[in-house]
Structure 1
């Protein structure tokens, strides 16, 4: 099942990142470049770096100039994240290109890769909530509160994994079909963002 594979790779990527815990540490993807494993590892590394960028920019004492630079980095990273989701969807489109959808087949509300994107973010929430549960200098009340949240996150992961695997099975059986829309982010495009094109 793809969800089990994805979870294993996400856990590995998060652990590998935290060996250095540096946003700009170069990625060392251990998987062959033409595999889904490679895409999943790269996707989660991007998400993990962005997670820590979001932590930095929320420092209330950050210099405003530095804060703006970090915000722009986050915007750029979010575009990279979106591109990686589309690469993963391209993998599934190619995998299922020979499948003929049944007459009553329906399209899903989100593509497989966008569901996997949520699973990647969920892996990060679980990792960092577990850190809070184990944080030795936190109060017992804090740790118990975080344990309750962690239990919910683990339940969410179980449910999301089932949904992803069921979706891919439905596509493979022709009961559903993929219809992927490219993300048309307007704020990064100087021809679509009025603040940018009005400056020209």
Structure 2
């Protein structure tokens, strides 16, 4: 699948599940629960120990599998070789942008300021992760799109069932969710995470 097809799928799906686990098995179970619940874009963070084992377990699913918390080009290359179809960072890293461009992989760095966004755009980033989104209002997107009308933003951090639609109405091309999915899994187990994932997809379908 080429870079633009992956970007198109993410913008059509509207939801990317950001998966953090205390160990690989937990992350794999949470990922599978999200996929069973209908979420088709999974971001496996490199804060999860032995995350490459999770990639191996998910390689044959029909979901897009990406890598998050990628801080350098070495990690980005490791993720791509493990099967990552997109790369996400908490902030812009020039070396990661160059490597992803070389391999035709979408790179979505975290940005908060106009300068950071302009730098990421010039480096070939098609979607920018607005992070942390829980510190700002959805109207921020409209303000950014004034001077930078081509910026496509994916707010992440503090996104939940109650505010996701507000962000999408404000112009977000997708949203990154995760903390409440993790809480559901820890409190109610696999089935609770599946049901919450279904609720997210129902919200999108409304």
Same fold (TM over 0.5): no
Structure with more helix by fraction: 1
TM-score by structure 2 length? 0.30
